[in-house]
A and B are shown apart, each in its own frame.
Chain A
Amino acid sequence: MTNTGCHNAGQTCWSCPAVEFKGHVDFRACGQAAFRKAAQGQLVVECRRRPEIGYFDPNSITFESCSEWKETPDGYLLDGMKVLILGMDGYLGWPLALKLARQGCRVLGIDNMMRRDLVAERGADSITPIGSMEERVAAAREKLDVEIEFRELDLMDRPALAALIEEFQPESIVQFAEIPSAPYSMADVERAVSTVQNNVVGTLGLLFAVRDHAPDASIIKLGTMGEYGSPLTGRPLFEGLFPGDAVLQYQGQEWSLGGELTPRDPVSFYHVSKVQGTFSVYEACKYWWLRSYDVMQGVIYGNSSAELDLDPAFNTRFDIDEWWGTVVNRFVAQAVIGMPLTIYGSGSQKRGYITLRDAMQCITRLIAAPPEPGQYDVVNQVTDVFSVREIAQMVATIAREFDLEVEVQRIENPRVESEEHPYEVIHEKLADRFGFESESAFADEVRHLFRVLLQPEIRARIINQQDTLFPKTRWSGEHGELEVLETWKPAA
């Protein structure tokens, strides 16, 4: 029932972070007021951007009808929306900063630059060269005419984080500042503790800072599909919360499960930290009326976006090693240097996948459609489900287009996981409620990766760090080389 059809056209000021809750007023009782968001009565708000409206009913103005919301390809966006990206130096953080800045957002990013150190510790480096943050910001200014602000700051430095949030007054906060590696978290106790501390305690500190200094900001929290595990019963992986008609039957009785958090079954201490983050955010929304989308992201791959493709100076980092690379990216790198694609165990493990380009669109659409105060919701950010074996087959097939003959190798599974399991991912919200349409198919993105990684200087960088590609970290804590079980050349 909107004029533009944008996914957020009909959202109202009650979702807008520029609006300040003033109270609930019962006008039947002479404007008797209550000052808690949980109270009953007519909502009364004030707009920080349009104070001339005075107090008003937030449901009487839609994004579509508000002069502060501008139409973009990803829906209406609050003009000059202040977005704080935590972890801006990362694989996701930098492309998001570019995309948002280009769409008119005022972007401030922080990072403690830890990822660069952790990758170097593994003897690896981004195989696409990346500049320092200062160089990246300067390139964005020079070539895109956008101003992105960066401050080196550790999420664990809570006083500094609180001061920054108080000063910047973000309208949206994207939480990417987490250590994103399952094998790293399983390598030894120090790395497990570091992962849990950074991810769990960092997010918890963030929530308190938001409560105290920017309670109307929406929080886009990056989770992972790995939080759900892969239930052997074949229970669908709903989007975080059970649908309204879900029912538990037990001993002849039935209970509704609608709206409850679905079970989590993490598959590493990294995933455990993500689950803890989910609960922290969920509770904060409940206790303090914060608002958040928890993004259960599938395995991400690719290195292209509308902005990244414009100039190599915009490159985002691209890791391929055992700890920091993801499977599709690593397979393409292995194919480029003639190394067999390594499959763990049977290779039947199924996961959800999404390209970097599509993930950036999803996150932008979520930023554009903030939840209401107190609302916690979950999206499964996935476009495809593949088994590892299927991915190896597809990458090998595409490699032939580049005159590369690729072998596939099955090795002993270093992880403790089900290798044979059903996997039904429900991923409807992003398309149905946020207007997401995939812009990049698997094969096209992999072809793009081959073109980039086959550039001689990039290929040379892969060769330089080929020792880091083969897995060594076992979930069991045992040491020693993993056994190669089988090697074959996939059929055409």
Chain B
Amino acid sequence: MDLFLLGIDGLPRWMWQQLADSGVMPNSQKLLRTGTLVPMKSALPEVSSAAWASIVTGENSGGHNVFGFTDLLDGSYTLGFTSSRTFRAAPFWSRPDAGPSLILNVPQTYPAQPLNGMLVSGFVALDLKRAVYPADAFPWLNEQKYSVDADMSLVEKGKSRFVRELLDVMRIRCEALHHYWDAEPWQNVMYVFTGTDRLNHYLWEDFEDSSSPHHQEFLDFYHEVDREIGRILERLDDRTTLAAVSDHGFARQLRSVNLNCLLAEAGYLQLKPSDRPSYGDMLPETKAFAMDPGRIYLHREGRYPNGRVTDDEAEELMQELTQWLGSVSVAGAPVTAEVVRGGDAYSGPFSHRAPDLIGMPAENVALSGRLNLSDLIEPTLINGRHTYEESSFFVRGENHGEIPADMKVENVLDVILPAREQSLRRAA
């Protein structure tokens, strides 16, 4: 095997080191001694769909066309969900020189697309049958009760019940990994733990509060993740390039602020009255709107059916919005830490589809862009949020490409597959 790329969704670099050092993750402790662990920057905005797409393609969103979990279909107000169909750059396993690959539970790969090897999609995957390539792998997975995702509604039944579900789902996935690992002489294997992200979203407060009744459950889950990491390490020899990455960091969330509420209050967004508002309900007077998490789009003429913001007006409007976003506060605290321009953040053939501005959330804040304007601060059980900084990048040994000082998700392939990346760039 040439490459084993391990994903641990939402595991911050500092936390991995901390849990390794404290003995919660002893296998990780051994592993981290064998290579280099550095903080990595996520995608902009810091969502898993865009970040994993960058990790597996070496492109930023302008190159792979995934800017979030949702997007408006071109020239319309239809809210589509990004999937492997909208994902426009080739992941490393689809490149001509890739060799047979086993790809399990990688987000943003649903529905499963044909490849030289086998793939079971990670989230958002809503139908196992279509998450599997080749199709003849489905019956065995189905028999194992392989789950495309843990059922989030279980969190309403209690955190302990939810953690049990995460453990069950992870164990079955890991069994599938080893089952298929044995089946072929794979050149590349990629496997992603995604339960870590789910856990962090709902039990982050319990991690931070050591007196919480769920604190130990949180640590125990990571201990189980680490046990599975140990099982993987036992099977790898020294010739395999081993890298482990997460897609974003994590931090405490005290409130989820709906940017569209703020935009509407300030008059930038105007909606027709509707019980279930959608983007098609935006009046032509709308100047700007938001999409999850902090993407802000100008309602541009030519880009949207009723858009009226001209190119001449755009620059002034972006300046105005940037200033306004920097000054607006909710519950006495700022909403954004920084506002980034899409034009500065992306490169590649899909850059024209990028948001005009990206609001980076302030401390304790998660941003959303829903059109239901009933709650500026949205009620949610989520108490952990993504961070742009401090995702994890680890690579074993020294036989790898140079790790940039400002490591980003789109640099992962450059570091772990330097020869392949260079040949690809030469070919391009």
Contact = CB atoms under 8 A, between A and B. Distances in A.
Interface of A: 1, 12, 14, 22-36, 39-42, 44, 53-57, 59-62, 65
Contacts of B272: 1
Interface stretch (B24-32, B147-155, B177-185): B147-155
Nearest to B384: A29
Nearest to A25: B124
Given A54-B80, A55-B80, A65-B280, A44 B126 contact: yes
A12 B70 CA distance: 18
A54 B47 contact: no
Contact of B78 (A23, A44, A60): A60
B78 A53 contact: yes
Contact of A35 (B69, B77, B126, B198): B126
A54 B79 CA distance: 10
Nearest to B125: A33
B198 A29 contact: yes
B414 to A, nearest CB: 25
A28 B256 contact: yes
Interface string B225-262: 00000000000000000000000000000001000000
Given A1-B272, A28-B293, A44-B81, 11 more contacts: A22-B127, A24-B153, A28-B292, A28-B368, A29-B152, A30-B107, A39-B152, A54-B83, A54-B86, A57-B278, A60-B280
Interface string B275-300: 01111100000000000110000000
Contacts of B86: 54
Contact of A29 (B83, B151, B201, B276): B201
Contacts of B366: 28
B80 A53 contact: yes
25 contacts: A27-B70, A28-B366, A30-B47, A30-B197, A30-B201, A31-B69, A31-B123, A33-B152, A34-B152, A39-B152, A40-B153, A41-B152, A42-B370, A44-B81, A44-B126, A53-B78, A53-B80, A54-B81, A55-B81, A56-B78, A56-B79, A57-B70, A59-B277, A60-B280, A61-B78
A29 B378 CA distance: 13
Nearest to A21: B126
Contacts, number: 119
Contacts of A33: 123-124, 126, 148-149, 151-152
Interface in B25-69: 47-49, 68-69
Given A28-B293, A28-B380, A22 B152 contact: no
Contacts of B137: none
Contacts of B149: 32-33
Contacts of B205: none
B85 interface: yes
A252 B109 CA distance: 62
Interface size class of B (residues with CB under 8 A): 35 or more
B272 to A, nearest CB: 6
A60 B281 CA distance: 9
A31 B10 CA distance: 13
Contact of B280 (A31, A41, A62): A62
A72 to B, nearest CB: 23
A59 B366 CA distance: 24
Contacts of B292: 27-28
Interface string B217-230: 00000000000000
Interface in B347-403: 366, 368, 370, 378, 380, 382, 386
A485 B194 CA distance: 83
Nearest to A66: B78
Contact of B49 (A28, A31, A34, A65): A31
Contacts of A39: 152-153
A29 B48 CA distance: 10
Given A54-B83, A56-B78, A57-B79, A30 B126 contact: no
B198 A32 contact: yes
Given A27-B69, A28-B368, A56 B123 contact: no
B278 A59 contact: yes
Nearest to A23: B126
Q: Which of B198, B276, B380 has the most CB of A within 10 A?
A: B276
A55 B69 CA distance: 11
Contact of A53 (B73, B77, B368): B73
Contact of A55 (B83, B194, B382): B83
